[in-house]
Every structure is written in C-alpha cells, then in structure tokens.
C-alpha cells in the first residue's frame, strides 16, 4: 500500500475544504497537515502537495512577506518530495516563487478571480469613457457641469481596445468589450485566432497597433517577454487621448513615462491596479493626476474568492490523483 499523500494547508482551509479533499482523493490514502502544526525548527518535512490560501498570504506583497507566508515557504523548502503547489492568486511572478520554479515543482494558480478582475478593468474603461472622474471632481466642488457639447463623451462602440495577454483575464475582458461594441485586438505570444478578438498579434508586433489604440489594456503575466513591454516610445505612439488600464503588473509598463504622458495631456486617463512599487508611495504624482483612478491591487477582491480558489484546488487535486493535466499551470498561462 502506498504511503499517504501529505497535503499542506492552513487550519482555516482545512475547515472549508477538508470534505472536498476526501472526495477528490477517492480511495487514495492521504493526510492533511495543518500549517500551524508544523514546527519552525528547520527539520525535513514530508509534504507532497500544498495549498496556499488567502489567509496565509494575508497582506503580503511584492516586498513584504507576512510571518505566516514565510513559514509556509519555509515548510516547502524543507519538503524534498514536494510535487505540486496550488496558490490562490492569479500570478506567480513574485520572487517568492522562484525557488519553487527552480526545483521544477508544478505550480498552479486560481483563475477564479479572472471574471472579477475583468469586470474591474472594464469598469475602469466605462468610468473613464463616461468621464466619471470629471463628474466626481465637479461633485466635490459642488459644481453643476453637464457633459454637453465639447465635453460630451465619445461613443465607446467602434473604438479600439488592444489587450496585451489573452489568459483567463484578458479573454474575459475581450468578451465584455466586444459586447459593448468595441473592436478588440488581442496580443499574445503567437498570433493565433481568438474567439473574442477581431484580430490577434504577437507581442513583438504590438507597436504597429498602438497608433490606432483608444484603450490599451494590460492583462498579461509578468515574464521576460512582457517586462517593460510598454516603454516611453510605445506610450508616445498612442494617439492623443488614449487611455491605459493595467491589471497585469506594474513592471509591464514604464511608470515614469506614463506619468509624464498623463501630465502633458498626451494620455487621456488611466485605471491602475498595479504599480512598480507597492504599496504606491504617498508622494507619487499618480495620486493627484486628473483622470487617473487608483486601485490598491484590489481588482480581484470579492467575498467569493476563497471558495472559488478552493474549488480550483479540489478540481486540480482530483486531476493530480488521476494523472490528468492540471488546470491553470503557471508554465502554460505564461504562454498566453
């Protein structure tokens, strides 16, 4: 009889998903190992599978790791038999994942936030298109300033959105924008046809589409191919009044070049969920620039995320037990 599969998760996750683990594992023996019960003594661990849930990550960010997450990562580092890690997040580009990738351990993400992130991105587009920031500013000033004549917003239908990244998030953004009547160009590793795009192109061909772009939506993973994808020259090639929406990573675009283009009026606005450095410095000009909307890396926040991330893990756990391909494997998503 094979040894029980050792599955690492937090006490909270075990309370939510323990019954589902039993179903997913079928007749294969397993043991749930609570993160809180693993001593931080440097001794070897026998973990085979690990679930990183939101309660463990807490308020960790790019440059700050909570004690719980540090302990989780330490346990993984002490587990020589570790085969697969499931994370609640949509991205795996942070430095914390480099040791896992270097060891060849399988890493899967949770696409459960894709719809929420896409709704936030499209909400940002609609807000900017309908001049909500201008209306909010007028409200603060108690000023009655109707959007008439030269202030009338352009119709969204017929405008062009270029979406960099056609993973789960970019795909949903494309679907929603098509429903509103925009022309959608999808940018990905290879120019393969896409159900919700009028046209697709490779990342290397992005520049030729920028001069006719009304909305540049960044929804790609951070890889060596996408780091610095949108530089000062790319921003300058956008038509005057174009807007940027970033739900990817701050490092995908030159933040300083974007700030300068917003200041001089070349860009018409921006909806930003991610930044080069997080949390965003209180002294950053982005806080006070007109028609710039700041989201503190919260585009995916929703009260149903914990359950959705758990459902992705349980589905993948059954796949892993049966030897089937895992959903949302990081290496495949980075190719989107």
**In a shared domain, residues 133 and 88:** no
Q: Which of 196, 297, 308, 334 is catalytic?
A: 297
Could you tell me if 290 and 214 lie in one domain? yes
In this prediction, residue 1 carries a pLDDT of 54
Average pLDDT, the chain: 96
pLDDT of 144 > 60? The answer is yes
Q: What is the dihedral of CA 140, 142, 144, 147, to 10 degrees?
A: 0
Mean pLDDT value of segment 140-159: 97
For the cut 90, the answer to whether the pLDDT of residue 334 exceeds it is no
> Is 212 found in the same domain as 127?
yes
Q: What value does the mean pLDDT take over residues 269-297?
A: 98
Give the residue-averaged pLDDT of 21-34.
Answer: 98
For residues 270 and 133, state if they share a domain: yes
Out of 12, 278, 319, 321, pick the active-site residue: 278
| pLDDT confidence of residue 333 | 56
- Weakest mean pLDDT among 67-71, 93-97, 227-231, 291-295: 93-97
Residue 11 maps to a domain: yes
Count CB-CB contacts under 10 A for residue 278: 15
Q: Write the pLDDT tens digit of every residue in 231-271.
A: 999 999 999 999 999 999 999 999 999 999 999 999 999 99
What pLDDT does residue 128 have? 99
Q: Do 62 and 132 fall within a single domain?
A: no
The band of 91, judged by pLDDT with boundaries at 50, 70 and 90, is confident
Give yes or no: residues 191 and 251 share one domain.
yes
Would you call 297 a catalytic residue per the annotation? yes
- Looking at the chain, the whole-number percentage of residues with pLDDT higher than 70 is 98
Q: Using one digit for the tens of pLDDT, what is the confidence trace for 45-88?
A: 999 999 999 999 998 887 789 999 999 999 999 999 999 999 99
Q: What is the pLDDT of residue 2?
A: 80
Put the strands of the sheet holding 160-164 in their side by side order.
199-202, 183-188, 160-164, 215-218, 243-246, 269-272, 292-294
Q: Quote the pLDDT of residue 16.
A: 98
Does the structure show a pLDDT above 70 at 309?
yes
Is the domain of 103 the same as that of 61? Answer: yes
In this prediction, residue 332 has a pLDDT band, given cuts at 50, 70 and 90, of low
Same domain flag for 206 and 307: no
Residues 222 and 276 in one domain: yes
The answer to the question of residue 16 being in a domain is yes
Tell me the mean pLDDT in the region 133-148.
Answer: 98
- Same domain as 271, residue 124: yes
What pLDDT sits at residue 331?
Answer: 72
331 falls within a domain: no
Tell me the residue range of the domain where 187 lies: 113-294
Q: Which of 194, 249, 291, 308 is catalytic?
A: 249
- Residues 118, 99, single domain; the answer is no
Q: What average pLDDT does this structure show over 200-216?
A: 98
For position 231, which CATH number holds?
3.40.50.720
Return the exposure string of 54-92: e unless at least 16 CB atoms fall within 10 Å of the residue's CB, then b. bbbbeebebeebeebbebbbebbebbeebebbbbbbbbb
Mean pLDDT, to the nearest integer, of 1-10? Answer: 92
What pLDDT, on a 0 to 100 scale, did the predictor assign at position 335? 53
Q: Which residues contact 201 (CB under 8 A, 6 or more apart)?
A: 185, 186, 187, 188, 191, 208, 209
Q: How confident is the model at residue 336 (pLDDT cuts 50, 70, 90)?
A: low
175 noted as active-site residue = no
Please give the model's pTM, rounded to 2 decimal places. 0.91
The fraction of the chain above a pLDDT of 90, given in percent, is 92
Distance CA 135, CA 155 (A): 17
Do 198 and 249 lie in one domain? The reply is: yes
> Catalytic: 194?
no
């Amino acid at each position: 009889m094979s040894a029980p599969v050792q599955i690492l998760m937090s006490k909270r996750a075990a309370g939510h998903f323990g019954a589902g683990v039993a179903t997913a594992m079928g007749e294969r023996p397993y043991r749930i190992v609570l993160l809180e019960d693993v001593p931080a003594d440097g001794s070897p661990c026998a973990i085979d599978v690990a679930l990183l849930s939101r309660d463990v990550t807490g308020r960790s960010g790019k440059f700050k790791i909570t004690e719980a997450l540090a302990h989780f990562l330490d346990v993984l580092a002490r587990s020589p038999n570790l085969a697969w890690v499931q994370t609640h997040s949509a991205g795996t580009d942070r430095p914390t994942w480099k040791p896992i990738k270097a060891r060849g351990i399988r890493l899967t993400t949770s696409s459960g936030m894709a719809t929420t992130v896409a709704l936030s991105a499209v909400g940002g587009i609609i807000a900017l298109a309908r001049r909500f920031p201008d209306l909010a500013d007028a409200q603060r000033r108690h000023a009655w300033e109707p959007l008439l004549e030269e202030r009338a917003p352009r119709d969204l239908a017929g405008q062009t959105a270029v979406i960099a990244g056609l993973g789960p998030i970019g795909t949903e953004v494309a679907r929603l924008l098509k429903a509103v009547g925009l022309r959608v160009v999808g940018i990905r590793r290879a120019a393969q046809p896409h159900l919700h795009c009028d046209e697709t192109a490779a990342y290397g061909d992005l520049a030729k589409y920028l001069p006719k772009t009304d909305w540049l939506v960044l929804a790609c993973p951070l890889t060596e191919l996408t780091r610095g994808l949108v530089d000062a020259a790319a921003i300058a090639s956008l038509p005057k009044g174009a807007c940027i929406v970033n739900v990817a990573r701050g490092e995908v675009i030159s933040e300083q070049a974007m700030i300068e283009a917003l200041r001089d009026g070349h860009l018409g606005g921006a909806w930003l969920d991610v930044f080069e450095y997080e949390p965003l410095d209180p002294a950053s000009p982005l806080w006070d620039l007109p028609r710039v909307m700041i989201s503190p890396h919260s585009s995916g926040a929703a009260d149903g995320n914990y359950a959705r991330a758990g459902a992705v893990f349980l589905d993948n756990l059954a796949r892993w037990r049966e030897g089937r391909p895992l959903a949302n494997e990081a290496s495949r998503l980075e190719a989107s």
